[in-house]
Amino acid sequence: MAKLPDVLRRLANVSNIADICETRDVEEAFRRGIDSVINFAAESHVDRSILDARPFVQTNVAGTQVLLELARRHSVRRFVQVSTDEVYGPAIDVNAFDEDDPLRPTSPYAASKAAADLLCLAYHKTFGVPVVITRCTNNYGPFQFPEKFIQLMITNVLEGKPVPIYGDGRQERDWLFVEDHCTALLQVLEHPAIEGVFNIAGGATVQNLRIAQIVLNLLGASRDLLKFVPDRPAHDRRYALHADRIAAIGWQPQMPLEAGLSKTVAWFTENQAWWRSVKSGEYLKYYSTWYEQELLKGASS
């Protein structure tokens, strides 16, 4: 499997990300020459979308439309929209979702991503923009923002803080290591003749409590650190995807879950200066607002 920096370097070269960073002007970057676009940009944390949905609509919907319009005007070779399994809603009455299943988002975040997906499909139908949409399961790995479930657990344990678990902790998610996701996106980007939607999945659904126990074991921490908090509003119980379509063009996940979690724990243990600087200032304000005020307020109402 290609190492993550190599994969990201190839993605950057294809998308001229260096030009965008230099000019800080997306339209100017397109004028200077963009071959292909991978739209990673998004507000992505569900809890934050419940506190305030406006940035999610502005970034995930309006921002995507800006890129689509520029891609149309400048005739890019391919536009890859990085989406999420959450657009399908909870996988309760089905084993797993296929790419052609209807979209039934339940959170403001998921709704904003579903809207962006529909915009992409509309630009493909109306203007012929060569769009490919990827819908991945939960990502994890190095450098992920520490408000995310796995990273929040790891960093809280390293800080000696309680680890919040929503509800009964039996929500099920499919976990995808970041390097596997990047190789899948590269496969989609470089394939000579594809369009439409591709699910990207790690391969097995696991309960949040099981993930928490693995992380605690890797850190040598006690289960007593787990703190069950009121469930968030409209918390989907289970996500699961069929990924046969992307398998047919040659991609399969390579990282076993426990090995990926071990690599992630090791990275956050060895790079504490990075995440400690992130978990300060505005982050602390959000953490207090959400876990210490909003959830407890919901429990008492």
3-state secondary structure of 243: coil
Domain of residue 203, residue span: 4-300
Q: Tokens 């590269």, residue?
A: 186
Q: Is the pLDDT of residue 299 over 70?
A: no
Is residue 109 part of the annotated active site? The answer reads yes
Q: Which pLDDT value is given to residue 13?
A: 45
CATH of the domain at 233: 3.40.50.720
Whether the predicted pLDDT of 228 surpasses 80:
yes
Place of tokens 């109306």: 126
Structure pTM? 0.88
Query: What value does the mean pLDDT take over residues 181-210?
Result: 94
| Residue at token pair 């790690």 | 202
Which one of the listed residues 109, 140, 239, 287 is annotated catalytic? 109
| Cα-based distances in Å from 206 to 4, 99, 212 | 24, 21, 10
Report the domain count for the chain.
1
Active site residue 159: no
Beta-ladder partners of 301? none
| Strand 196-200, strand 131-136: pairing | parallel
From 19, 43, 47, 86, the catalytic residue: 86
The token pair at 294 is 């909003």
What Rg do the C-alpha atoms of the chain give, in angstroms? Answer: 19
What tens digit of pLDDT does each residue of 284-294 get?
888 788 786 66
What pLDDT, on the 0 to 100 scale, is given for residue 294? 60
Tell me whether residue 85 is one of the annotated catalytic residues: yes
In which element (H, E) is residue 174 found? strand 172-177
- pLDDT tens-digit readout, 143-158: 999 999 999 999 999 9
> What element of type H or E holds 63?
helix 63-73
Q: How far is CA 232 from CA 15, 57, 299, in A?
A: 37, 20, 10
CA–CA dist 91, 200 (Å, integer): 15
Instruction: Give helix 178-190 / helix 4-15 axis angle, nearest 10°.
Output: 40
CA of residue 52 relative to chain centroid, distance: 18
What letter does residue 238 receive in the DSSP assignment? B
Q: Would you call 277 helix, strand, or coil by DSSP?
A: helix
Confidence label for 296 from pLDDT (cuts 50, 70 and 90): low
Q: Are strands 172-177 and 131-136 parallel, antiparallel or unpaired?
A: unpaired
Of 19, 43, 47, 85, the catalytic one is 85
